[in-house]
Amino acid sequence: MTATVESRRATFRKLHEQGSLILPNPWDLGSLRRIEALGAKAVATTSAGFAEAKGREDYGMTRDEVLAHLKELCSATDLPVNADYESGFADTTRELSESVRLAIDAGVAGVSIEDREGKGLYPKEIAVERIRAARQAIVETGHDVLLVARCEGFLTATADLTEVIDRLKAYSNAGGDVLYAPGVSKRADVKAVVDAVAPKPVNVLLLPGMQAKEMFDLGVCRVSTGSFLTDAAWKGLESAARSVLEEGHLP
Protein backbone atom coordinates (compact mmCIF):
# COMPACT_ATOMS: atom_id res chain seq x y z
CA MET A 1 0.00 0.00 0.00
CA THR A 2 1.25 3.46 -0.91
CA ALA A 3 -1.72 5.80 -0.50
CA THR A 4 -2.31 7.44 2.87
CA VAL A 5 -5.75 7.51 4.44
CA GLU A 6 -6.01 11.24 3.78
CA SER A 7 -4.99 10.89 0.13
CA ARG A 8 -7.64 8.20 -0.34
CA ARG A 9 -10.24 10.52 1.15
CA ALA A 10 -9.16 13.34 -1.15
CA THR A 11 -9.33 10.97 -4.11
CA PHE A 12 -12.82 9.89 -3.12
CA ARG A 13 -14.07 13.46 -3.06
CA LYS A 14 -12.51 14.13 -6.48
CA LEU A 15 -14.22 11.04 -7.88
CA HIS A 16 -17.56 12.50 -6.78
CA GLU A 17 -16.72 15.80 -8.42
CA GLN A 18 -15.95 13.96 -11.67
CA GLY A 19 -19.09 11.78 -11.47
CA SER A 20 -19.91 8.57 -13.36
CA LEU A 21 -18.46 6.53 -10.49
CA ILE A 22 -19.13 2.80 -10.37
CA LEU A 23 -18.78 1.60 -6.81
CA PRO A 24 -18.67 -2.21 -6.47
CA ASN A 25 -19.36 -3.77 -3.07
CA PRO A 26 -16.88 -6.42 -1.84
CA TRP A 27 -17.76 -8.43 1.23
CA ASP A 28 -14.32 -9.74 2.27
CA LEU A 29 -10.64 -9.48 1.39
CA GLY A 30 -10.88 -12.02 -1.41
CA SER A 31 -13.64 -10.18 -3.21
CA LEU A 32 -11.86 -6.87 -2.59
CA ARG A 33 -8.70 -8.19 -4.23
CA ARG A 34 -10.58 -9.35 -7.32
CA ILE A 35 -12.54 -6.11 -7.68
CA GLU A 36 -9.35 -4.13 -7.16
CA ALA A 37 -7.59 -6.11 -9.91
CA LEU A 38 -10.44 -5.37 -12.32
CA GLY A 39 -9.74 -1.65 -12.09
CA ALA A 40 -12.30 -0.28 -9.64
CA LYS A 41 -11.54 3.29 -8.55
CA ALA A 42 -13.23 2.91 -5.16
CA VAL A 43 -15.35 0.38 -3.28
CA ALA A 44 -18.12 0.30 -0.73
CA THR A 45 -18.84 -2.33 1.87
CA THR A 46 -22.14 -4.22 1.98
CA SER A 47 -23.81 -4.95 5.29
CA ALA A 48 -25.90 -7.76 3.78
CA GLY A 49 -22.95 -9.32 1.95
CA PHE A 50 -20.72 -9.20 5.04
CA ALA A 51 -23.45 -10.72 7.20
CA GLU A 52 -24.10 -13.49 4.68
CA ALA A 53 -20.37 -14.31 4.57
CA LYS A 54 -20.59 -14.83 8.34
CA GLY A 55 -23.69 -17.02 8.06
CA ARG A 56 -26.08 -14.35 9.34
CA GLU A 57 -28.88 -12.17 8.05
CA ASP A 58 -28.55 -8.51 7.14
CA TYR A 59 -28.45 -6.31 10.26
CA GLY A 60 -27.14 -9.31 12.17
CA MET A 61 -23.62 -7.98 12.79
CA THR A 62 -22.50 -5.98 15.80
CA ARG A 63 -20.81 -2.60 15.61
CA ASP A 64 -17.51 -4.07 16.80
CA GLU A 65 -17.63 -6.73 14.10
CA VAL A 66 -18.36 -4.18 11.40
CA LEU A 67 -15.60 -1.88 12.64
CA ALA A 68 -13.11 -4.77 12.52
CA HIS A 69 -14.30 -5.50 8.97
CA LEU A 70 -13.82 -1.87 7.96
CA LYS A 71 -10.33 -1.75 9.46
CA GLU A 72 -9.39 -4.96 7.64
CA LEU A 73 -10.51 -3.67 4.25
CA CYS A 74 -9.16 -0.14 4.65
CA SER A 75 -5.76 -1.40 5.76
CA ALA A 76 -5.53 -3.80 2.80
CA THR A 77 -6.15 -1.46 -0.15
CA ASP A 78 -5.16 1.87 -1.67
CA LEU A 79 -8.74 2.32 -2.88
CA PRO A 80 -11.11 4.64 -1.01
CA VAL A 81 -13.64 2.63 1.02
CA ASN A 82 -17.20 3.79 1.67
CA ALA A 83 -18.74 2.17 4.75
CA ASP A 84 -22.23 0.69 4.67
CA TYR A 85 -22.78 1.57 8.31
CA GLU A 86 -26.47 0.70 8.59
CA SER A 87 -28.13 3.14 11.02
CA GLY A 88 -24.90 3.77 12.86
CA PHE A 89 -25.53 1.03 15.44
CA ALA A 90 -26.97 3.71 17.70
CA ASP A 91 -30.31 4.89 19.02
CA THR A 92 -29.29 8.29 20.37
CA THR A 93 -27.45 11.08 18.58
CA ARG A 94 -24.68 10.88 21.18
CA GLU A 95 -24.16 7.19 20.44
CA LEU A 96 -24.35 7.87 16.71
CA SER A 97 -21.64 10.52 16.95
CA GLU A 98 -19.39 8.03 18.72
CA SER A 99 -20.08 5.39 16.07
CA VAL A 100 -19.22 7.78 13.25
CA ARG A 101 -15.95 8.74 14.91
CA LEU A 102 -15.04 5.06 15.28
CA ALA A 103 -15.76 4.43 11.59
CA ILE A 104 -13.52 7.35 10.66
CA ASP A 105 -10.78 5.92 12.88
CA ALA A 106 -11.09 2.69 10.89
CA GLY A 107 -9.93 4.57 7.79
CA VAL A 108 -13.06 5.00 5.69
CA ALA A 109 -13.38 7.67 3.02
CA GLY A 110 -17.16 7.76 3.24
CA VAL A 111 -19.79 6.62 5.73
CA SER A 112 -23.42 5.85 4.91
CA ILE A 113 -26.07 6.39 7.57
CA GLU A 114 -29.59 5.02 7.09
CA ASP A 115 -32.85 6.35 8.49
CA ARG A 116 -34.09 2.82 9.14
CA GLU A 117 -35.47 1.87 12.55
CA GLY A 118 -36.38 -1.80 12.66
CA LYS A 119 -38.75 -2.52 9.79
CA GLY A 120 -39.67 1.13 9.34
CA LEU A 121 -38.10 4.57 9.39
CA TYR A 122 -37.20 6.98 12.15
CA PRO A 123 -39.63 9.89 12.31
CA LYS A 124 -38.35 12.54 9.94
CA GLU A 125 -37.39 15.03 12.65
CA ILE A 126 -35.34 12.42 14.49
CA ALA A 127 -33.74 11.18 11.26
CA VAL A 128 -32.68 14.72 10.39
CA GLU A 129 -31.14 15.22 13.82
CA ARG A 130 -29.21 11.99 13.37
CA ILE A 131 -27.74 13.18 10.06
CA ARG A 132 -26.90 16.51 11.65
CA ALA A 133 -25.14 14.70 14.51
CA ALA A 134 -23.19 12.54 12.06
CA ARG A 135 -22.13 15.66 10.13
CA GLN A 136 -20.97 17.36 13.32
CA ALA A 137 -19.00 14.29 14.36
CA ILE A 138 -17.16 14.32 11.03
CA VAL A 139 -16.42 18.04 11.35
CA GLU A 140 -15.06 17.57 14.85
CA THR A 141 -12.59 14.91 13.69
CA GLY A 142 -11.16 17.31 11.11
CA HIS A 143 -11.09 14.56 8.48
CA ASP A 144 -12.45 14.89 4.94
CA VAL A 145 -14.94 12.01 5.08
CA LEU A 146 -18.06 12.04 2.92
CA LEU A 147 -21.40 11.57 4.66
CA VAL A 148 -23.88 9.52 2.64
CA ALA A 149 -27.43 10.09 3.91
CA ARG A 150 -29.74 7.21 3.03
CA CYS A 151 -33.51 7.01 2.98
CA GLU A 152 -34.67 3.39 3.20
CA GLY A 153 -38.29 4.15 2.39
CA PHE A 154 -38.36 2.08 -0.80
CA LEU A 155 -36.67 -0.95 0.76
CA THR A 156 -38.95 -0.93 3.80
CA ALA A 157 -42.00 -0.12 1.63
CA THR A 158 -42.97 2.57 4.14
CA ALA A 159 -42.53 5.72 2.04
CA ASP A 160 -43.53 6.84 -1.42
CA LEU A 161 -41.43 8.94 -3.81
CA THR A 162 -42.74 12.23 -2.43
CA GLU A 163 -41.77 11.37 1.14
CA VAL A 164 -38.41 9.92 0.10
CA ILE A 165 -37.52 13.10 -1.77
CA ASP A 166 -38.71 15.25 1.13
CA ARG A 167 -36.46 13.30 3.48
CA LEU A 168 -33.45 13.41 1.15
CA LYS A 169 -33.75 17.18 0.82
CA ALA A 170 -33.89 17.49 4.60
CA TYR A 171 -30.88 15.21 4.99
CA SER A 172 -28.99 17.28 2.43
CA ASN A 173 -29.73 20.44 4.39
CA ALA A 174 -28.61 18.68 7.59
CA GLY A 175 -25.18 17.99 6.14
CA GLY A 176 -25.41 14.96 3.87
CA ASP A 177 -22.75 15.10 1.16
CA VAL A 178 -24.28 12.32 -0.97
CA LEU A 179 -27.94 11.33 -1.06
CA TYR A 180 -29.08 7.76 -1.53
CA ALA A 181 -32.48 6.06 -1.73
CA PRO A 182 -31.81 2.39 -2.55
CA GLY A 183 -34.64 0.83 -4.54
CA VAL A 184 -35.44 3.74 -6.84
CA SER A 185 -35.47 2.39 -10.38
CA LYS A 186 -37.88 4.18 -12.70
CA ARG A 187 -36.15 6.74 -14.90
CA ALA A 188 -38.61 9.50 -13.97
CA ASP A 189 -38.17 8.76 -10.26
CA VAL A 190 -34.38 8.75 -10.51
CA LYS A 191 -34.45 12.08 -12.35
CA ALA A 192 -36.82 13.51 -9.74
CA VAL A 193 -34.42 12.55 -6.95
CA VAL A 194 -31.42 13.99 -8.79
CA ASP A 195 -33.19 17.27 -9.52
CA ALA A 196 -34.53 17.58 -5.98
CA VAL A 197 -31.15 17.50 -4.24
CA ALA A 198 -28.99 19.11 -6.95
CA PRO A 199 -26.17 20.01 -6.93
CA LYS A 200 -25.49 17.36 -4.28
CA PRO A 201 -24.44 14.00 -5.78
CA VAL A 202 -26.83 11.05 -5.80
CA ASN A 203 -26.04 7.35 -5.41
CA VAL A 204 -28.29 4.76 -7.05
CA LEU A 205 -28.36 1.05 -6.29
CA LEU A 206 -27.82 -0.75 -9.59
CA LEU A 207 -30.69 -3.23 -9.85
CA PRO A 208 -30.88 -6.10 -12.35
CA GLY A 209 -31.74 -4.71 -15.78
CA MET A 210 -30.46 -1.22 -15.00
CA GLN A 211 -27.53 0.31 -16.93
CA ALA A 212 -24.93 2.49 -15.22
CA LYS A 213 -24.58 4.74 -18.27
CA GLU A 214 -28.32 5.36 -18.32
CA MET A 215 -28.18 6.42 -14.67
CA PHE A 216 -25.26 8.73 -15.35
CA ASP A 217 -27.15 10.28 -18.27
CA LEU A 218 -29.92 11.11 -15.79
CA GLY A 219 -27.46 13.00 -13.62
CA VAL A 220 -26.64 10.26 -11.09
CA CYS A 221 -23.12 10.66 -9.68
CA ARG A 222 -22.43 7.10 -8.61
CA VAL A 223 -23.93 3.61 -8.75
CA SER A 224 -23.27 0.79 -6.31
CA THR A 225 -24.11 -2.89 -6.30
CA GLY A 226 -25.24 -3.60 -2.75
CA SER A 227 -25.26 -7.34 -2.07
CA PHE A 228 -25.85 -8.32 -5.71
CA LEU A 229 -22.20 -9.30 -6.27
CA THR A 230 -22.33 -11.42 -3.13
CA ASP A 231 -25.55 -13.05 -4.35
CA ALA A 232 -23.89 -13.84 -7.69
CA ALA A 233 -20.97 -15.49 -5.89
CA TRP A 234 -23.30 -17.63 -3.78
CA LYS A 235 -25.24 -18.70 -6.85
CA GLY A 236 -22.00 -19.77 -8.53
CA LEU A 237 -21.01 -21.74 -5.44
CA GLU A 238 -24.41 -23.41 -5.17
CA SER A 239 -24.37 -24.38 -8.84
CA ALA A 240 -20.92 -25.96 -8.58
CA ALA A 241 -21.69 -27.71 -5.30
CA ARG A 242 -24.97 -29.05 -6.67
CA SER A 243 -23.15 -30.49 -9.67
CA VAL A 244 -20.75 -32.34 -7.37
CA LEU A 245 -23.34 -33.50 -4.83
CA GLU A 246 -26.06 -34.51 -7.26
CA GLU A 247 -24.10 -35.54 -10.36
CA GLY A 248 -20.70 -36.41 -8.97
CA HIS A 249 -18.64 -34.05 -11.08
CA LEU A 250 -17.56 -30.44 -11.31
CA PRO A 251 -19.57 -28.27 -13.68
Query: Which backbone phi and psi does 22 adopt, to 5 degrees?
Result: -100, 125
Kindly report the pTM of this predicted structure: 0.95
The phi-psi region of residue 8 (left if phi > 0; otherwise alpha if psi is between -120 and 50; otherwise beta) is: alpha
Helix (H, G, I), strand (E, B) or coil at 219: coil
Domains of the chain as residue ranges with CATH? 5-226 (3.20.20.60)
* pLDDT score, position 2: 83
Q: Summarize pLDDT for 35-59 with one digit per residue, the tens.
A: 999 999 999 999 999 999 999 999 9
How large a percentage of the chain has pLDDT more than 90? Answer: 99
Give me the mean pLDDT over the 76-91 stretch.
Answer: 97
Helix (H, G, I), strand (E, B) or coil at 182: coil
Mapped to the 3 state alphabet, what secondary structure does 131-154 carry? HHHHHHHHHHHCCCCEEEEECCHH
Inter-residue contact 77 to 1 (CB < 8 Å) = yes
